[in-house]
A and B are shown apart, each in its own frame.
Chain A
Amino acid sequence: MIEVRHLQKSFGAAKILNDVSFQIENGESVVIIGRSGGGKSVLLKHIVGLLKPDSGEVLIDGENIELLNERQLLRVREKFGMVFQGAALFDSMTVAENVAFPFRNHKHLTAGEIASRVAAALDMVDLPGTQNRKPAELSGGMRKRVGLARAIVYEPQIVLYDEPTTGLDPIVSDSIDKLIIRVRDQLKVTSIVVTHDMRSARRVGNHVLMLHDKSIYANCTPESLFASPDPIIRQFVDGVADAKECLI
């Protein structure tokens, strides 16, 4: 279980997160929505310990990760897989080397076993046979899929997605959404997806957290979010600059 308690974070004079608290149960699929620059990715990075809060706590399976140093955090991070906005593939390596990277310190696996795990992960993201290609030779959608393969190859308990469909065309976005659902259902992982894409939020989440004005504004199911008459929620769901133009 992931528990965030009274999280606060500022960068210089700019406050990004203010008293953010929520819980995510094992196996849940949670979507975090909010405006650009609203602190969604910052919140995601706190969950995996990439950023330290100014105050507040993040508990992973009851363990407060704010008390751990970088080396102790490595043990906790073995529970996580993360798909980055720009995929963050290691560009000096091939696709296979990228996907096999999590196994480099696992001496109990043979080269053959690693190769078959890599092939299985690439099959799952519909990229079979791309092992020897370099990240520079791949399209944006393919890079994100390789990033997803790298995140799931060691079967983590929690997968974090930082804007997985941003910058992709609707067809590729749809395929990424389907992949997220497939990974969630087949591997039984807890998924946390940061997105602006409301169509994607409706499809992949069974719970939605909306960040607004530096804190959690809505914590509900996608159905109740989309049916909400609240003007701030409606403005975001309908994607209109002027609140008067909202559909409901």
Chain B
Amino acid sequence: MTVASHLAALDGALLGPRRIRRCMIAEARAGLHDAVDAYRDGGVSAERAEELAVRDFGTVGEVAPSYQAELTARQGRTAAVLYAIVFPTMLFGWDLLWSTGAVTWPRGPAPHLVTALAGLQDVVTVVVAVAAITLLAVTFRRSVPPERLTVAIGLTGAIGAPLCGGISIAMNLVAARSTAHLIMTSPAAAAAFATSALVLVVLIWQSVRTLRVARAAQAH
């Protein structure tokens, strides 16, 4: 087996952030080429040197679990950073829009149900943000197994994002005419709604991905 085909097989067995995965494979390639050179310096043929270097490296079954554990930990940390930034930003962003008057309620005071949902939204967002920041801090502890931590981080997003999104949608359905009016008349409000929807999609996508990567680690 050649270095290239062995690394391709390893790469194929891994799931996780592409940038770090490529970086780790590139590092393994450099190391394997060093090992091939060392064998060749010892008088072994090029073909045999590759075989021996690949044998020393270990089979995909032997090394993939450690690679996947690392990728899973990185995916977890990336997702935790994303949640720790995005959830508080969404909370303060919308507060800023309302408090500065950039977005205002079209006709009179907001209905009670909308106010109540907005309050619930704030509470849920704060809880999710605190959970994300706590889990992010835990990723710096070496003693915590990355697979379970990444599952916890993925679940935080997988529950938090649809919950916040659902509350927002409910809030806007309750006052559908006001929302429609806001979007039609205020470019700032339209931009804020579009950004929020996009952020929600990114959050859900990232959460699903994080849970998939965590599951890949458990499968190894």
Q: Do A and B bind each other?
A: no
